[in-house]
Amino acid sequence: MYGYQEELLDHYQFPRNRKVISHPTVQAQEVNPSCGDMISIMLLIIEGVITDIGFEGKGCIISQATASLLSESCKGKSVSEVSAYNYKTIESLIKMPLGPNRMRCALISLEALKAALEHYKLSS
């Protein structure tokens, strides 16, 4: 579609890790209040490493494709490594410029991920 990268559209149409993890170590959900988009992230963490990740959600191409891209990027990485993810990480994953309002769509999966990691740190 006009203006969207092929890779992004591919992740929207064929999302990676869109699945439920039955016994996650932690999970968290975030919502974009301006449109109701939602991302729920589940992490399986073994000895400080994200060994599996699953997400569910509904919303626009940007929010859902970013969740898919982010999930691929997290898998196999340590909690401390992923805790350092920020706005710039998301920008480099989606490879397209977004204004601050639209960027909120891309950031909800990062916020869900960060919230899940906070739960993990508090519980471990």
Partner 1 sequence: MKCVFIRGISMIKKSDFPVFHHVPNSFAYLDNASTTFVPQQVVDALTDYYTHPYTNVHRGIYNLAEETTIQYEQIRKEVATFINAREKSEVVFTKGTTDGLNMAARLLVPFINKGDEILITQAEHHAHFVTWQQIALEKGAHLRIIPVNPSSYTITNSCYDSLISSRTKVVAVTASSNVFPALWGPESLYLWDLLKKANAVNAFTVIDGAQYIPHMALQLEDMSIDFCAFSTHKMGGPTGLGILYIRKRLHDCLMPVQFGGGMIFSVTNEESKWARSPQRFEAGTPPIAQVKAFGALLKYWKEKGSYKKLSSHYQELMCQLYEGLQALGMVIYAPHTDIYEGHVLSWSVPQLHAHDAAHVLGMQGCYVRAGDHCAQPLHHALRMPATLRASFFWYTTREDIEHLLSSLEYLLTHSKGL
Residues that bind partner 1 (CB under 8 A): 1-4, 9, 12-13, 33-37, 59-63, 102, 105
Cβ proximity to partner 1: between 21 and 38 the closer is: 38
- Minimum CB distance to partner 1 smaller for 45 or for 70: 70
The least distance separating partner 1 from the CB of residue 19, rounded to whole angstroms, comes to: 21
Instruction: Answer whether 115's CB lies under 8 Å from 30's CB.
Output: yes
Helical H runs in the chain? 6-13, 61-74, 79-83, 87-94, 100-123
Q: How far apart are CA 91 and CA 107, in angstroms?
A: 9
Give whichever of 30 and 37 is closer to partner 1, judged by the CB atom: 37
Dihedrals φ, ψ of 41, to 5°? Answer: -120, 135
Q: Cα dist. 30→2, 8, 84, 124 in Å?
A: 28, 21, 19, 22
CB of 29 to partner 1, least distance (A): 17
Residue 18 Cβ vs partner 1, minimum distance, rounded to whole Å: 16
Query: What's the closest the beta carbon of residue 16 comes to partner 1, in angstroms?
Result: 17
* Residue 117, amino acid: L
Which is closer to partner 1, CB of 1 or CB of 84? 1
